[in-house]
């Protein structure tokens, strides 16, 4: 593919020729590799619904955050190679299984291939909404390749502080890049649209609180609400799980406390955020992380 000859799909802009089998910063060549394709119940209620979200987890990642909850696939250590034709078939098979939508998880580095697969699947009867589920380290030029194909955008907004972004994601420019990307997503999606409790169009921005970083979390939420108001939903997440690799980062090698989470939620309420999702109970446990070793769903 032409766009992969000098790959600059993401802000890393490593410029390698992935068509020749060379890995980009994302860890992937031009061959599409996916770790799981299945119905997934652990998204926001308006995404998972009663049947589940038809989730396709793509292997590799342009961010590689040190605390990644899906580390097995982000570093490229698991998954199966599929053709563009097969990817289109998977979308249709998930729809046949009753999925409320097709949920593309960490898709940035495969956008050209995904565009082809979506166009093919839509020609063959794919009609459910398409969800783009991303860490938000995105280029606007890449997102515009998806215009008219994506219905629901599910981006993260991980940090406001540059030092945090540099330490944990090697991306000091994260907030600036993510904010620009989210602006483009809002432009494409327009105002939120729901039907029967399910989101059909719109943007849900996720923010996962890190241990000891409630001040940064408040700033993220404040900026999102200031810029986008009720045009977006904000999902405030407490499910941070310190996995084995976090021993090198002792300051975040613990769960988020209930007090920390409540402080951030209370702050969102105090600035009049109404369009929001919050989590209740014990979500910071490994059972909420898909098992990528026990098979890959419908493949």
User: Considering the chain, what is the average pLDDT of its residues?
Assistant: 93
Is the predicted pLDDT of residue 296 greater than 60, yes or no? no
Which of 144-153, 207-216, 286-295 shows the lowest per-residue confidence on average (mean pLDDT)?
286-295
Please, are residues 207 and 237 in contact by the beta-carbon 8 Å criterion?
yes
Q: E-strand spans in 148-197?
A: 152-155, 193-195
pLDDT score for 297: 60
Interacting residues of 265 by C-beta distance below 8 A, sequence separation 6+: 236, 278
Q: What is the pLDDT of residues 145-171, one digit of tens each?
A: 999 999 999 999 999 999 999 999 999
Give percent of the chain with pLDDT exceeding 70: 93
Instruction: State the CATH architecture for 18-288.
Output: Alpha-Beta Barrel (3.20)
Q: What is the pLDDT of residues 26-85, one digit of tens each?
A: 999 999 999 999 999 999 999 999 999 999 999 999 999 999 987 777 776 689 999 999
| pLDDT band for position 229 (cuts 50, 70, 90) | very high
* Helix-helix angle 258-270:214-228, to 10 degrees: 30
């Amino acid at each position: 593919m032409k766009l992969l000859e000098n790959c600059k799909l993401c802000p890393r802009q490593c410029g390698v020729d992935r068509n020749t089998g060379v890995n980009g910063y994302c860890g992937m060549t031009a061959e599409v590799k996916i770790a799981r394709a299945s119905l997934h119940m652990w998204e926001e209620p308006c995404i998972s619904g009663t049947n589940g979200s038809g989730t396709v987890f793509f292997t590799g990642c342009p961010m590689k955050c040190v605390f990644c909850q899906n580390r097995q696939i982000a570093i490229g250590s698991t998954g199966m190679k599929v053709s563009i034709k097969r990817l289109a078939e998977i979308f249709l098979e998930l729809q046949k299984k009753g999925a409320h939508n097709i949920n593309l998880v960490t898709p940035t580095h495969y956008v050209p291939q995904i565009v082809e697969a979506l166009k093919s699947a839509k020609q063959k009867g794919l009609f459910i909404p398409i969800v783009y589920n991303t860490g938000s380290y995105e280029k606007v030029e890449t997102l515009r390749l998806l215009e008219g194909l994506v219905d629901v955008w599910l981006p993260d907004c991980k940090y406001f502080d540059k030092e945090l972004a540099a330490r944990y994601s090697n991306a000091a420019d994260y907030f600036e890049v993510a904010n620009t990307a989210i602006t483009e997503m809002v432009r494409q999606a327009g105002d939120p649209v729901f039907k029967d409790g399910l989101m059909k169009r719109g943007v849900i921005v996720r923010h996962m609180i890190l241990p000891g970083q409630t001040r940064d979390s408040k700033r993220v939420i404040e900026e999102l609400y200031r810029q986008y108001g009720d045009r977006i939903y904000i999902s405030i997440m407490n499910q941070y799980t310190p996995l084995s690799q976090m021993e090198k980062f002792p300051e975040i090698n613990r769960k988020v406390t209930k007090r920390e989470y409540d402080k951030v939620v209370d702050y969102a309420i105090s600035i009049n955020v109404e369009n929001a999702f919050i989590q209740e109970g014990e979500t910071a446990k490994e059972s909420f992380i898909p098992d990528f070793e026990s098979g890959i769903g419908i493949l």
